[in-house]
Structure 1
Amino acid sequence: MWAWKLALTGCALLWGGSFVVIKGSLDAVPACSLMALRFLLASLLLGAVCWRRLRDSLDWSHLFAGGILGVLAGAAYAVQNVGLTYTTPGRNAFLTAIYCVLVPFVNWIVARRRPGAMVLLAAGLCVLGVGLISLGDDLVPSLGMGERLTLLSALLYAAQIVCVARFASAHDVMTLTVVQMTVTCAICWVFSLVLGEPQVDLASLDGSFWWSLAYMVVLASCACSAIQNAAQIVVPPAQASLLLSLESVFAVAASVLFYGERLTPRLVAGFALIFIAVLASELGPTLARRAPSRRA
């Protein structure tokens, strides 16, 4: 059990570091084109590794379910990374983490399951945290384009997570993932064309870009997805989500160490409130279920 928990923490570390890696790569390739290339290579690599499962499992049901997940994931990645061009990796990472709080509300709409009091409290803390991040030094709200786009991507991620919960149990997970990555690639290319992103001569890119792309494809996409799917067989969902939410903490640490982001007390307070909200939304339902048994 502890080995898998450490593996999930490693995934959070890799995903957190990817914010800084992507930020650097955006200087060479536009956001949506970069995501399209990333998921094209990831789908080809994962498809080659899992070709036997694809051969045995791929059908119209997998194409339909994976297509929905891919559209949501593709739109989320595209919007998030366009937002990253207008904000810092730390803000982008923490605002993206709001999806943990949004999931119960999206699930309320889809599955008619009302969120509990702890989730509502978490949402309030999250709003306060976003407010602290968005206030400028003159205390005037200044939620910029990057922050607004990142919040929209968090909503898209929440919708994608709810759909995964509805589709995953009835489908082969790896086949579903390959289809999702393929459609995600297509959606990102569409975003790239609609936004009129300039074409990039890949042959002219230097070695540092390709090392960054390898990190995103092999580690942040293929390896982390496989590890997460395997680990969650033995690690309860609430604990797994808590460990993966550390991604935002690692992202800020990487942004401070490698990107030169300056942490002010106001931003630290805002980040802390959002992180507390994430923890409350994940741990609250578990504690509430355990409370009656302790009283008994």
Structure 2
Amino acid sequence: MRKYMGEIMLCITAIIWGSGFVVSSIALEHYTPYQVIAGRFLIGFLVLSIIFYKKLKLLNREIIIKGLVLGFLLYLAFVLQTVGLQYTTPSKNAFLTAVNVVIVPFIALLVYKRRIDKFELTGAILAILGIGFLSLQFSTNINIGDVLTLGCAVAFAYQIFYTAKYVKDEDPITLTIVQMFFAAVFSWIVVLAKGEINFSFEMEAVSAILYLAIFSTTLAYLFQTIAQKFTNETKAAIILSTESFWGMVFSVILLSEVLTTRMIIGAVLILCAIMIAETKLSFLKKKSVEKLI
């Protein structure tokens, strides 16, 4: 039951992140990208610390180091994605970021020498193809923005991998708090260094940053960390990759984006990816056995 609870939490995380695409576009009308990142991580850390202040008693040197690693990887991923977006298209940025779903199983192979599960790898490749249909305007031009965004995908892949590794031995809530703290520290160092200290306090701007901070950051990363205690990193990456699908859904509902055949094909491929990774086609094997009997 815990396994399925973890996967449900990952699905909720993907849905929240999907909704974040729409809200981020609103926030970026009032703040710089670096201010958005800094604001969401700082508020996320404060909210988690206030709600789960008793968990701070569990702090020790080991969990602080692990939280530092995760916080750095998380911030690095966001910065590379943000800077990359300045030089490439949003569609390519979204697609290349999602490449992390294929990178994760290879990190596990390199670190643990663990054989790659063929069903999970197939699911990962199908997920990438689905995301390509959802977001990519098929262009072969490669620029510095694409390279930076690919670096973002690598950082996200390592963040997912090390979250799965660390959460096996640590309290997931405490680990998330420490991760948010260090991500916020790195964020504010950059904001102050760039001199971006003027923040808008318009209702629309504040509402957008609060949504991103409380839902897309605090709740989503808390759910991700807890869920990864009960599922492997490759399956987690595949489920989390559905944020592109949910981003499409919210864009169609809230922004009246036109639903195209290409989007439908992408959604079907992502659904197939999850089914293959989750069931390993066991239902087909069962039918084959029944026929033999």
Identity %: 29
Q: Relative to structure 1, is the Cα distance of residues 173 and 236 closer, same or farther in structure 2, using a 3 angstrom cutoff? A: closer
Alpha-carbon separation, structure 2, partners of 1:288 and 1:190: 50
Q: Relative to structure 1, is the Cα distance of residues 30 and 274 closer, same or farther in structure 2, using a 3 angstrom cutoff? A: farther
Alpha-carbon separation, structure 1, partners of 2:146 and 2:275: 23
The answer to whether the aligner puts 1:135 opposite 2:135 as a matched pair is: no
The answer to whether the aligner puts 1:15 opposite 2:31 as a matched pair is: no
Report what 2:187 is aligned to.
188
Report matched runs for 1:22-171 at 5 Å. 22-54=24-56, 56-85=57-86, 86-88=88-90, 92-122=93-123, 125=126, 133=136, 135-136=138-139, 141-143=140-142, 146-171=145-170
Q: Is the 8 A contact 1:75 1:188 kept in 2?
A: no
Deviations 1:3-61 (A, max 9, x none): 9876654433221111121122123222122111210111011011111111x210101
Q: Relative to structure 1, is the Cα distance of residues 107 and 257 closer, same or farther in structure 2, using a 3 angstrom cutoff? A: same
Deviation at 1:114, TM superposition (A): 2.7
Code of the residue aligned with 2:67 in structure 1: it is G
Alpha-carbon separation, structure 2, partners of 1:218 and 1:131: 29
Deviation at 1:117, TM superposition (A): 3.1
Report what 1:179 is aligned to.
178
How many equivalent residue pairs? 284
The two structures have a TM-score, normalised by structure 2, of 0.77
Deviation at 1:158, TM superposition (A): 0.9
Unaligned runs of 5+ in 1: none
Q: Relative to structure 1, is the Cα distance of residues 11 and 164 closer, same or farther in structure 2, using a 3 angstrom cutoff? A: closer
Code of the residue aligned with 2:68 in structure 1: it is G
Alpha-carbon separation, structure 1, partners of 2:259 and 2:48: 38
The answer to whether the aligner puts 1:201 opposite 2:204 as a matched pair is: no
Code of the residue aligned with 2:118 in structure 1: it is A
Report what 1:283 is aligned to.
278
Unaligned runs of 5+ in 2: none
Alpha-carbon separation, structure 1, partners of 2:14 and 2:289: 35
Report what 2:211 is aligned to.
215
Tell me the SS of whatever aligns to 2:167. helix
Alpha-carbon separation, structure 2, partners of 1:232 and 1:125: 22
Tell me the SS of whatever aligns to 1:169. coil
Tell me the SS of whatever aligns to 1:175. helix
Code of the residue aligned with 1:212 in structure 2: it is A
Alpha-carbon separation, structure 1, partners of 2:245 and 2:147: 20
Alpha-carbon separation, structure 1, partners of 2:223 and 2:132: 35
Deviations 1:245-290 (A, max 9, x none): 4322111222344456666656765x45873685377337x44799
Structural RMSD (CA): 3.9
Q: Is the 8 A contact 2:55 2:173 kept in 1?
A: yes
Alpha-carbon separation, structure 1, partners of 2:264 and 2:287: 37
Deviation at 1:190, TM superposition (A): 4.3
Deviations 1:52-104 (A, max 9, x none): 111x210101111111111111111222233445533x654454333222211
Alpha-carbon separation, structure 2, partners of 1:274 and 1:84: 25
Q: Is the 8 A contact 2:119 2:276 kept in 1?
A: yes
Deviation at 1:134, TM superposition (A): 5.2
Alpha-carbon separation, structure 2, partners of 1:184 and 1:113: 30
Code of the residue aligned with 2:13 in structure 1: it is C
Alpha-carbon separation, structure 1, partners of 2:147 and 2:131: 10
Q: 2:247 aligns with which of 227, 251, 258?
A: 251
Code of the residue aligned with 1:216 in structure 2: it is L
